[in-house]
A and B are shown apart, each in its own frame.
Chain A
Amino acid sequence: MDELANNNNTPVPDISYLKEMVGDDKETIKEIILLFLEQAPLRMKSLIECANKGDHEKLKTISHSLITELTTVGILQAVNDLKRINTASRDMDDLNETVESIVKAINEGIKGLKTLI
C-alpha cells in the first residue's frame, strides 16, 4: 500500500498495475475498483469460513483469485500472505491469524480505494 496517505490518514492503494493495464482513464479505473468493491465482502466472508472449517483446498482457490485482484487494485499487503496460503501445505499453524491479517489489510485497502473513486 502506498505510504502516502490522504486527508483522513487512510493509506492509498498503489494502483500502478491497474494503470499499466488499462491506462489513465479515470472512468475505467473507477469501473474496475467498483467491481472489486462489489466482490470483496463475499471474498472475505468465504476466506473466513474456509479458514474456520480448515478447508485448505477452497482457501487455495479463493487466494488464487484474490492474488490477482488485490494486485490489480493495489492492496499489496495481503498478497504475500495469500501466496503463502496458495503454496503452503495443508497444515498451516497460523492459518486463522494469517486470514485475519489478510481480511484486515483488505478492509484497510477498501477504505483507501473509496477515496479514489
Chain B
Amino acid sequence: MEKILVIDDDKIIRKLFKIALVKAGYKVIEAENGSDGLLQIHAERPDLVITDYQMPGMNGLDVLAEVRKLKFKVPVIMLTGYGDVVLTIKSIQQGAFEFLEKPVKPEVLQSTIKKALLSVSTSKSLTEVVSKNMPTEGMLENNILVGKAQQMKEIFKNIGLISMNKVNVLIQGETGTGKELIARLIHYSGITSDKPLVVVNCSALTETLLESELFGHVKGSFTDSIRDRKGKFELAGDGTIFLDEISEISLNTQVKLLRVIQELEFEKVGGEQPIPMKARIIAATNRNLEELIKQGKFREDLYYRLKVFTINLPSLKERKEDINDLVIHFLYKLNKRFNRNVTKIGDGVIELLQKHDWPGNVRELENAVLQAIIMAKNDVLEKEHIILNDRGSAEDESAAHVNQLQTLSFVEKNHIKRVLDLVGTVQNFV
C-alpha cells in the first residue's frame, strides 16, 4: 500500500484528506508543520508528500527544497490558496510535481496522486540512459558526432580525410541538419585546429556590408568608415572561413569571391594593397545550387571552385535510427544547461519521435527534447511531454494529442511553464 504524507497546519484539512485518501486505498500519515513533516519523511519514507504552502514556521516551499535534497525521490504536491499565482510559479520552479488550489476537487486530487505515484514507479522501472560519464564538453558541442547511420559514418570518414588538407568544402543539407557543426568539426579535427575559425552568415548582411565584412575596408572608403577595419578573410588567417548560406550572396559579390579563390588574394574595400588569402573556405547552403545556376542566380565557376569536396548531410528523416542516441545526447547536454535531471526515457517516446518526419531536422528534435525536459515532472522524459510540429507528423496519430482541446487550466499551466522557459532565468523570476 502506497504511503502518503499530508502536511498541513489545519486539522480539518488533514482530517479531510486522510479520510478521502484512506478511502481510496492509501496509507496516510500526517504532520502539522514543515519540520514535523521532514522528520516523518526521514522516518517513514512516504511515496508521496502533499503539503500546504502556508504554514507557520517552515512553509511548503521550504519543505519542497529539503525534499529535493534527499537521495531518494519523493514527488511533492503543493497546495496553494486562492489566487496564489506567484506561489504556483515558484512551486513548479522548485520542482513540485503539481500545484493544486484549495479547495481541491476530489477527482483532481485522486488523479494527481495517481499520476505522481505512477511517475515514481515509471522512474524506478526504467534504467538511466544518461550517465555521469558522457563525452567531454568539446565532444558535446558537436551534436553531429552522434550518429550511427551509414550516411553519417561515411561523412565522418571523409572529414577525417579532408581535415588534413586545406581544400575548399561545400556542405549541402536542409535547415537544422548541422552544417555549421560539420564545418567546425572539419576545422577543429585537422591541421587547422589551432588556427582561427571565422563564421559569416551571408544572408544576414546587405551586399555592401557583406563585402566590407568579408574583405574589410580602409578609412574613408564610405560614409562612417572612420578607421581601417580587417575583414573576415584577413581575420581567418591560415585557418578557416565558413560562409554559411552562400546561395544568398549577390552576383557582384560572387565575382569578387571567385577572384579571391582564383588569385588567392584580395583588397579591402576602398583599398589597393593586395592581401594574401590563406584560409580554407567552407561554404554551406540549404538550397540546390545547380538549380540556382540554371536560373542564373549562382555562378557556375564559383560553384566548382567551392565544391572541391562536397558533403551532403542527410535529413533527420533519412537517419531515424540515430534519434535514440540524439535524444540521449540532448538529455545530457540540456540537463546540464538548464539544471534539470531527466535521465530516463519513458516507454514509447523513441517510437513516437521516430514516426515524426522532422522538417526542422536535428534542431527541431533538440527543441522538442528541451520542451519535454522543461515539462518533465521527474527524471523521466514522457511521451505526453513531447510536442511535435504538425508539419512533420501527418502520419502519426499518437502525436495528435497536441491538437485536442485542452482544459483552460492545462493551457494556462503550460503557458506559465513555457514563459518560464523563455525568460530563462527562472530562479530569479519572482
Contact = CB atoms under 8 A, between A and B. Distances in A.
Contacts of A68: 10, 12-13, 102-103
A67 B19 contact: no
Interface string A77-104: 0000001001100000000000000000
A61 B16 contact: no
B15 A35 contact: yes
What interface size band does chain B fall in? Answer: 10 to 19
A65 B10 contact: yes
Contacts of B13: 65, 68-69, 72
Contact of A72 (B16, B54, B105): B16
Nearest to A82: B82
B15 A32 contact: yes
A22 B15 CA distance: 10
Given A68-B10, A72-B103, A21 B81 contact: no
B195 interface: no
B19 A28 contact: yes
Contact of A32 (B12, B83, B102): B12
Interface string A45-62: 000000000000000010
Contacts of A23: 23
Given A35-B12, A64-B54, A68-B10, A86 B81 contact: yes
A22 B106 CA distance: 9
Contact of B83 (A17, A22, A86): A86
Interface string B20-36: 10010000000000000
A35 B54 CA distance: 20
B106 A21 contact: yes
A64 B20 contact: no
A21 B83 contact: no
B184 to A, nearest CB: 53
B90 to A, nearest CB: 16
B9 to A, nearest CB: 8
A91 to B, nearest CB: 18
B82 A86 contact: yes
B11 interface: yes
Contacts of B81: 64, 67, 86
B19 A21 contact: yes
Interface in A10-37: 17-18, 20-23, 28, 31-32, 35-36
A28 B61 CA distance: 31
Nearest to B11: A35
Given A64-B54, A87-B82, A22 B10 contact: no
Indicate the member of B10, B54, B82, B83 with the most A CB atoms within 10 Å.
Answer: B82
A20 B83 CA distance: 23
Nearest to A83: B82
Contacts of A64: 54, 81-82
Contacts of A87: 82-83
B82 A21 contact: no
A4 to B, nearest CB: 22
12 contacts: A21-B20, A22-B23, A28-B19, A31-B15, A35-B15, A36-B12, A61-B54, A67-B81, A68-B103, A71-B103, A86-B83, A87-B83
Given A22-B20, A32-B19, A65-B13, 16 more contacts: A20-B105, A21-B16, A21-B20, A21-B106, A22-B16, A22-B19, A22-B23, A35-B12, A67-B103, A68-B12, A69-B12, A72-B16, A83-B83, A86-B83, A87-B82, A87-B83
Interface of B: 10-13, 15-16, 19-20, 23, 54, 81-83, 102-103, 105-106
